[in-house]
Structure 1
Amino acid sequence: MHIDIVSDIACPWCFIGIERLERALAETKAEATVTLHPYLLDPDGPDSGTDIRARLRQKFGGDPTPAFANVERAARETGIPLDFEKVRMGYPTLRAHTLLRHAQTRGTQRALSRALFAAYFLEAKNIADPAVLAEIAAPHGFTAEEVAKLTSDTEELARTRQEADHAARSGVRGVPLFIFDGRSAISGAQPEAVFREAIRKAAG
């Protein structure tokens, strides 16, 4: 089966949902090819980052702490030690998605995706910084020179942005989104049982 995933590295529910999918694939021993597609939750944020709490208060009003607690609880149930006290800043992910696109042809896209999520959400690293990206991508088939080139090439970055724009124009309003064999879709970080059932149906 083939599974397409639309997600953003800056989205904690994407981190949780993809991890749940990976666990479901391992439990069912299903063979699947997975392709990750970009979605930009904050396409024009500064590379230096923005204060997550201030941005959420401005966007939704109120204290985001209860929402953080809900995400942390779901993450820990999935084996992810997420602690939002460590994650204070949000960063644009255009460069990270550009590397993920190139990781697909190298067979390391899924592994690089998990490494990027961990670097941001567990280590609070600036995943907009090319030097940080070079460090993360090194074990996944990229040289520092390649990362520097890909993350500064205006055509490469424009292509990534176009792919993300295409997802939004196609009706994707929230991530993560999981599409099984182009036929059935699951939206959000659903329980592992939901993913297992979707895998069984797609395999059948």
Structure 2
Amino acid sequence: MNVLFDNLPLYGVGFLGTIELFVVAAIGSLILGTILAAMRVSPIPVLRSFGTVYVNTIRNTPLTLVLFFFAFAYPRLEIADISFFWRASIGLILYTSAFVCEVVRSGVNTVPVGQAEASRALGFTFGQTMGQVVLPQAIRSVVPPLTNTMIALLKNTTIAAGFSVIEAGGIYANLSERGYNVFVGLLWVALGFLILVVPLTLLQRNLDRRWSPSR
């Protein structure tokens, strides 16, 4: 217990950084992933091709390589000087959005084609059809896999510790420098992540229970 109590400020700052990184990346990846999913089912060939190439490229690229690019290669482009936190956030957003895209697209495919055809017959544009008819139904069927993607994102934030981002994954290095038992320290980190994952799991079960009669 002394490892935890002697380093409470360190754990507090670390997990606060994890939560901030997760919230920013989750919101960004959900937005970008939904846009990419719309592109992949779009009737416009250029948009479909772009979405397909993006998803296939990012999903087959290791997250470490994506974060490595934003940590070391991005500054050489001299586009804009942003902090490591935002570089890590952008990297996580670009990476996770590819997986969100496929989850949302699978939900879109569960919606009967006749509903989209009926909406077009009523004069709805593609954007109106997606936003008002297809996506509201698709989201209900993708809550479990989407929650799993967010849980994976939460765990992926630990990789950012290797790129000078203050979060829970970097606690072990500080404990080692202070002479504490790193193994015990990592057990507390694992418990902290478990506490963060439980609310996501409960939210998934609650939404699944509420929406299942409407499917």
More helix by share: 2
Structure ranking higher on relative contact order (CA contacts 8 Å, 6+ apart): 1
More strand by share: 1
TM range (shorter): under 0.3
TM-score between the two structures when normalised by the length of structure 2: 0.25
